[in-house]
Structure 1
């Protein structure tokens, strides 16, 4: 276990991730996962805002918990913690921070092993200075994928370690593309219904960006599938939701409607395989319906 941050102990009011070691009469003994496993305690009175009927329902040995620091006595090594003073929003914030720390720790541990040096020495030379400069060394590591000299240039890292560090960061932190899909039924029984559907689908595709290219394909009337592949999951889902809204607005002007069978979400290879099998069944029937033109061919 290593210390993620330069300070040996956390500060009062700081959120920290702990792992429960034991439960005693006074409270729960825990180790602070980001601070080299230093010991702390959550008093029973600080476990919950409500009356405690069963400690085991609130906290269990071996489980990770987000807590806030109440008191720190560096001389005696006492750290008093509270679980009940932590809000749901703070739990999410701390979990995100902890995962960033774990990612950095994993990278440095790997580099240390390959270079036969201590992980702590890499923290001292690399992670702690970057944490101070960028708010978190994780953010610096991500930036280094595009701007390695700007991030690492002033740290005096030896050439072999720098090569190993950049390689490990690129392998661990380069965003992986995800596929986002939405299934929609588009109907319009007006006289110009086919053209109305075509225009509506084009309105959705028009919201494509370089980072989030949208394609619309026919499965079988009236079912269409929208899809995109992007390294930015949040932007992909957001853009797809806007595309569905654009299609809906367009077709409703033509007295048609849209039924969302599956809202935009990240799909797996299994989901894609099932969709492909379904589309192949209809392709055998040689269906040629509005919206299934050359620009909407399958990837």
Structure 2
């Protein structure tokens, strides 16, 4: 098990991720997942703020837990930990930090395997120096996708290792595009009905940016689908929400109205396929109707 960070032991008041190994009379023995699996203990009195009737309800063997460091004795190897002193917000914060550490470890382990070296040597040469400079080596790895020279310049690594590192970072950390969709019904029974709807939909598409291009397609009157594909999920949802608002405001000025059937959200390939099938179904129905009209006109002749 690797040591994610340069210090051999965590500091007092630091949040750490542990895995429960055993539960004894005094407390739970755990291993610190970010610190080479060294042993620590969570005393029973530090498991919960409430009265403990069943230890199993608060902690279980094999489960990962977020705890805070209370005492470290490097000479004796004692690390006392507390679960009850950790807030819900701190749990989320620590879990995010741990996931970043795991991502870095996975990349370095793969590079080490390909280059025939130990992961520990790469931590010393790459991860720990970057951690000191950027706050976390994960952030440095992400930045390196755009600015490799700025991030890796000055590190003591050979060209082959650097090339392998860049390859793995690009494969693992390059943001993957997501599809964001919203389904809306737009109606206008005023004299300018169709043109008013077009104007409103154009107002929505006008909210597009280079990173978040918005398209509006007709499913079947009055249902329209808005969609965008972007690597920035948060920005995509925010801009799509603004586009829906723009359509609503514009159609309201024309005495029409909008009904949001599905608010902007990330959709899966399955949901996208279902929409495509629905649109094809309506398209086929329209073609059938047009075909019926042709037959009728031939009969009339």
So what's the TM-score if we normalise by structure 2?
A: 0.92
Shift of 1:181: 0.8
Displacement of 1:193: 2.3
Per the TM alignment, residue 43 of structure 1 is displaced from its structure 2 partner at its CA by 1.4
Aligned position for 2:232: 232
1:133 matched to which residue of 2? 133
Residue 156, structure 1, aligned to residue 126, structure 2: no
In 1: Cα distance, 2:64 partner to 2:28 partner: 12
Per the alignment, in what secondary structure is the counterpart of residue 10 of structure 1?
Answer: coil
Question: Could you tell me which residue of structure 2 aligns to residue 83 of structure 1?
Answer: 83
In structure 1, the gaps of 5 or more residues are 288-299
Query: By how many angstroms is 1:223 displaced?
Result: 1.1
Match of 1:62 in 2: 62
* Residue 271 (str. 1) matches residue 271 (str. 2): yes
2:95 is paired with a residue whose SS is helix
How far has the Cα of 1:174 moved from its partner? 0.9
**Are residues 1:103 and 2:100 paired?**
no
3-state SS in 2 of match to 1:176: coil
Q: Which runs of 5+ in 2 are unaligned?
A: 288-301
Determine the C-alpha separation between the residues in 2 that align with 1:162 and 1:104.
Answer: 15
Q: Give me the whole-angstrom Cα distance separating, in 1, the residues matched to 2:78 and 2:260.
A: 56
Is it true that 1:22 corresponds to 2:22 in the alignment? yes
- The Cα shift of 1:195 comes to 2.0
Rg comparison, structure with higher value: 2
C-alpha displacement of 1:284: 2.0
1:271, distance to aligned residue in structure 2 (A) = 0.9
> Cα deviations across residues 208-237 of structure 1 (Å, max 9, x unaligned)?
111111111111111111110001111111
Matched, 1:5 2:2: no
Instruction: Name the Cα RMSD after superposition.
Output: 1.3
Number of aligned pairs?
287
Give distance in 2, aligned partners of 1:256 and 1:37: 64
Question: What is the aligned partner in structure 2 of residue 291 from structure 1?
Answer: none
Cα shift at 1:127: 0.3
Query: Where does 1:1-299 land on structure 2 (aligned, <5 Å)?
Result: 1-286=1-286
Deviations 1:2-45 (A, max 9, x none): 00000001111111111111112221111111101111111112
Higher mean C-alpha deviation, range 272-281 or range 81-90: 81-90
2:297 corresponds in structure 1 to: none
Q: Distance in 1 between matches of 2:234 and 2:61?
A: 35
